[in-house]
Amino acid sequence: MTRQVYGIVAALAVGWLSWPAHEATGDEVSAPSPAILHGSGASGPVTAPIKLFNGKDLANFYTYLRNHGKNKDPEKVFTVANGMIRVSGEIYGAFITEKEYENYHLIVEFKWGEQTWAPREKAARDSGILLHCVGEDGAASEVWMESIECQMIEGGTGDFILVKGKNQPKITVPVKMIGKQWYYDPKGEPRQFPPGRANWYGRDPQWKDVKGFRGAQDVERPVGEWNTLECICDGDRITNILNGKVVNAGTGASHTRGKILFQSEGAEVFFRRIELHPVKGRK
């Protein structure tokens, strides 16, 4: 199936994506424009645009690093300069929203840097956006929070990973099996995860955990170029959109509200836009 047809089917399959027709062409979906933005907003459903990253500092976030804890960053893993957040990746950790949110359209612009660190200095550049984070900091692998992850990794951005804390998050994704792995397919059979990971539809079956990996169908742009990654969290539904293409979608999510976490996981990555918008069509 071509990407164009695949994307059209994907958009139809996730009918809660109710953008007007003039905002979508083929398999591409346009992100909302950054209208008037309103501070950090309050916890709960997003009813007006919120500019989480103000371009100057991490005012709406706190940091958490393995072996250091909350808001202790002696190695300057997280810095802000020239309107960008730089995550060095040197120490596993994250910057995390101070508040919890639900029913939102998250828009993130990111690009990979050149630097990587042990134990992943030769592995695929890796990060992630953890949605609906609940429970204690460091509950998962002594660094992450219980959550539903939209993976960010070379060749695999848009995968769903269920990060266990005190409880095990779950989501149901329509999938097909290729080899021994599950891939998002809007015409596939619904399957609850975990066990396993729900890959985005075009993840290369020959994917390897090597620095610089690119697959034949990759939607992510090359290292050093900006990408737009969107996560639409509408009730128990989550839709991942990369550079205007629906790459993964699930429903029946066990978690529907929580903090939003951005990982430091061995690779340099930059963020220049982090915004929340209301979900279109939601009342």
pLDDT tops 60 at residue 91: yes
pLDDT tops 70 at residue 1: no
- Angle, vertex CA 228, rays to CA 133 and CA 107, nearest 5: 45
Mean pLDDT along residues 163-169 = 98
pLDDT tops 90 at residue 100: yes
For the stretch 215-244, pLDDT in tens is 999 999 999 999 999 999 999 999 999 999
pLDDT value at residue 32: 58
Closest CA to 183 of 4, 5, 30, 6: 6
Give how far Cα 138 sits from Cα of 54, 67, 147, 218, 256, Å.
26, 10, 12, 32, 20
pLDDT value at residue 58: 98
Q: Tell me the CATH number of domain 3-277, given options 2.50.20.10, 3.30.565.10, 3.30.365.10, 2.60.120.560.
A: 2.60.120.560
pLDDT value at residue 60: 97
For the stretch 126-156, pLDDT in tens is 999 999 999 999 999 999 999 999 999 999 9
Mean pLDDT along residues 27-46 = 56
Mean pLDDT along residues 26-37 = 50
Mean pLDDT along residues 201-224 = 97
Pairing outcome for strands 44-45 and 101-102:
parallel
pLDDT value at residue 283: 67
pLDDT tops 50 at residue 88: yes
Closest CA to 234 of 10, 15, 23, 6: 15
What's 81-103 look like in SS3? ECCEEEECCCCCEEEEECCCEEC
pLDDT tops 80 at residue 39: no
Mean pLDDT along residues 258-274 = 98
Tell me the CB-side half-sphere exposure of residue 139, using CA atoms within 13 A: 14
pLDDT value at residue 282: 75
Give how far Cα 71 sits from Cα of 66, 225, 278, Å.
11, 30, 29
For the stretch 52-73, pLDDT in tens is 999 999 999 999 999 999 999 9
Q: How confident is the model at residue 42 (pLDDT cuts 50, 70, 90)?
A: low
Sequence spans of domains, the chain: 3-277
Give how far Cα 131 sits from Cα of 43, 179, 247, Å.
14, 28, 16
